[in-house]
Structure 1
Amino acid sequence: MKLFRLFSSLFLMTMSAAALAQARLDVRIKPANPELKANVEGYVGDLGERDVQALRNFSLGAEQQAEKAAQALGYYQAQIDSEIKDADQPRLVINIQPGEPIHLRNVVIRVEGPAASLKAFRVPKSDALKTGAVLNHGNYEDAKRLIQNQASRY
C-alpha cells in the first residue's frame, strides 16, 4: 500500500510539473535585428506557466506589445504575426518583418529662457539625435531627461 502511495505521489508530481512547464517566447525577425529582438522580448515579458490556450488568449496582447517595441526603435511599418507551437513545451512564436525605420530630419535642440544664458546648462549632443539617424525613442527620452534634470537644479 505504501509503495502504491509513493508511485501515485511521484506520478502526480511529474504530471503537475509537466502541466506547469514554462511557456517559451520565440521572436523571429527577418532580417535579423538583435536590438529589436531584445526590445520585443523586454516588452512582451516572461510568459510564465501558461498552457497552449492561455498563450492563444495572450497572443494578441503580445503582438501589440511587439508593435510598441518596434515603434520605440523607429519601426512604424512592421508586419507582425504570432503562432502557438504545441510541443513538449508551449511556445509563442512572434514573427516580425520590421520594414524600413523612420529617420530623423531637421533635428534642432535648443534651450530657451533664462537657462539659455547659463554656461553650465548644456544641450545634449548625441549622434543618435542628428539628421539622418534612425528614430529611437529611448535616445529622445534620454536627451529630454538630461534637460529636465538640469532645469530642476537651476
Structure 2
Amino acid sequence: MTRETTSFIYVTYILSTPEKVFEAITKPEVARRYWGHENVSDWKAGSTWKHIRANDERTVELVGKVMEVSPPSRLVITWANASQAADPASHSRVTFEIETYENMVRLTVTHDELEPGSGMDKGIRRGWPVVLSSLKSFLETGRGLDVFAKPKAA
C-alpha cells in the first residue's frame, strides 16, 4: 500500500533573470541575505545539500539530495529535517522551475511527497510564502524580508 501524500505549489513573478533566481537559491552567500539560511552543495545530481542557519551556531536544519539540476531553469532536491535524515519516509521533494516570462521570471516551487497534516507539511505552508516573498523583494530591491517575523498579537 502506498502512503497518502500531499503537495504545496507556490508561483511568483520576479523582475529578474533566470540566472539570478537560480543563483539566489543555490549560492550560500546570496540565500543567507533573504532566507537567513545557506543552501550548501556542489549542486550536482546525486550530491547532498544542507540548509544551514546563517548565525553563530551554524545549525544544519534540513538535508537532502540533489535529484536533478539544469541551471538556470530547474532544480529538484529531496528535503528532510536533519534529525530525520536517516528515515527515507520522512523525505519530501522540492522542485524549482524557473522560466522567462516576458521581461520577468516565473518561479514555481512545488513541494510534494509530504505527509498530510505533518509538522513538515504545516511548516512549509507557512514558510515558503515568506521565503519566496523575501526572495522576490531581495532580487527586485536588494533587501529581503524578515523571514523570522511573527504575527502581532491582536
Note whether the superposition's TM-score is higher than 0.5. Answer: no
Q: Normalised by the size of structure 1, how large is the TM-score?
A: 0.25
Q: Normalised by the size of structure 2, how large is the TM-score?
A: 0.25
Task: Select the structure that is richer in strand.
Answer: 2
Greater Rg, structure 1 or structure 2? 1
Task: Select the structure that is richer in helix.
Answer: 1
Larger relative contact order (C-alpha < 8 A, sep ≥ 6)?
2
